[in-house]
Amino acid sequence: MLEIKQKDLARAAGISLATLNNIERGVADPRSSTLAAIERALGTVGIEVADDGLTEEVCLHRLSRPSSYDTLFASQRVLETIGPTSLVRIRRILFFARIDAQDGAMAPRICLLIEGRSRTVLFDLVDFTVENDSRAAEVAGIMLACYAFHRDRLYFLDRPLEDTTTADVSETVSRLMDMPWRRMEHPRDFFNVFDNWDGHLLNYARRPGHPMRDLVAQLLKPRQD
């Protein structure tokens, strides 16, 4: 269902390939902690195992909308999803901005749609913004990881959307998939849709230790094929 190899699952679960191979061949008696690690790794990409004592079933949830409003926790979830040990095989990452239906005067929220081969994850319930130093740092950290791991898979929408959180996840994802995605060559392409990259955001890039500075430095590196 996930289109992954044993080595991918072993790495994500933090166990050796030999251990996983022996478990699958039925020649090992694994610890409960090892099985829990495997189940956690599969759970992060939507695999759910149900066992009522009579039947056992494995289910893959192909759509997910994490309900993590806390920006720090949500940032960690995003980084886990796009990172090198993730079991989500990334096809494309879409950045878009939405206007909160209840707080239209506030800064637009920055959202992500992460499209994988077997699972799509929508992060639009989080208050990602660039309205202050710390919030801009969170967004810059996410974008830095995206450019580091998936530079040729980044896209954006060229206008802010009305509040996407008022519709269910399947309707919202379907709508986003039907919209024209533009290739993101540089963060300014996206940020200039709702902000001023050269004025506002580059102020953060001048601050030593700020993730925005690291993001700008990453973009200045020569691309490696």
pLDDT of residue 225: 47
The sheet carrying 109-116 orders its strands as: 63-64, 120-123, 109-116, 90-98, 154-156, 182-183
In a shared domain, residues 168 and 90: yes
pLDDT of residue 207: 85
In a shared domain, residues 53 and 25: yes
Has residue 225 been placed in a domain? no
In a shared domain, residues 25 and 80: no
Q: What's the pTM value of the predicted model, to 2 decimals?
A: 0.85
* Contact of 128 with 122, CB cutoff 8 Å: no
* Contact of 66 with 77, CB cutoff 8 Å: yes
pLDDT of residue 111: 96
* Contact of 213 with 204, CB cutoff 8 Å: yes
In a shared domain, residues 49 and 75: no
pLDDT of residue 107: 78
In a shared domain, residues 107 and 209: yes
pLDDT of residue 175: 96
pLDDT of residue 105: 54
Residue 165: burial class (beta carbons within 10 Å; 0-12, 13-18, 19+)? middle
Range of the domain at 36: 6-60
Could you state, in chain order, the average pLDDT of each consecutive group of 10 residues for the chain (225 residues)?
87 90 87 89 85 87 85 90 90 93 71 94 92 89 94 96 92 96 94 88 84 86 58
In a shared domain, residues 138 and 155: yes
> Letter for the amino acid at 212?
M
pLDDT of residue 46: 84
Has residue 169 been placed in a domain? yes
Point out the domain boundary residue: 21, 42, 60.
60
Has residue 1 been placed in a domain? no
In a shared domain, residues 72 and 44: no
In a shared domain, residues 37 and 74: no
In a shared domain, residues 24 and 69: no
**CATH classification at residue 40:** 1.10.260.40
pLDDT of residue 167: 92
In a shared domain, residues 146 and 124: yes
Structural domain total, the chain: 2
In a shared domain, residues 53 and 142: no
pLDDT of residue 156: 98
